[in-house]
Amino acid sequence: MKIDYSKIPEHCQKGMKRYIEHGIIPGDFLQAVICNNLVESFARADGTNILCLFDYACFLYNEIPTSAWGSEEKMMKWSEAKRTEDLPELSEDDYRNGGR
């Protein structure tokens, strides 16, 4: 899946990318956007983002899997799944040594 992060303001691209690719929960504004909370998105937006909320909606709808956005529950499930994916696989020896 190739995601075009350039469709959202540059200063929020890294936060969105960390969330989508690694499950790292972003700041309050991006959380509101990801959870599809319109009022909270407007309340938390800076001067640039308030003008780009339509761009965020298009970005989510066209670029991001539906399982990654739309509610707080979806955001948390996505985050947990991605963080689990990022865990290194441990060998049998690693388990015997407590993962060290």
In a domain, 62, yes or no: yes
In a domain, 49, yes or no: yes
Model confidence, pTM? 0.84
* pLDDT at residue 79 tops 50: yes
pLDDT tens digits, one per residue of 30-66: 999 999 999 999 999 999 999 999 999 999 999 999 9
In a domain, 99, yes or no: no
Q: How many domains is the chain built from?
A: 1
In a domain, 87, yes or no: no
Residue 35 contacts residue 77 (beta carbons within 8 Å): no
Domain limits for position 45: 27-82
Residue 22 contacts residue 82 (beta carbons within 8 Å): yes
**Averaged pLDDT for residues 84-88:** 76
What is the enclosing helix (H) or strand (E) of 25? none
In a domain, 94, yes or no: no
In a domain, 21, yes or no: no
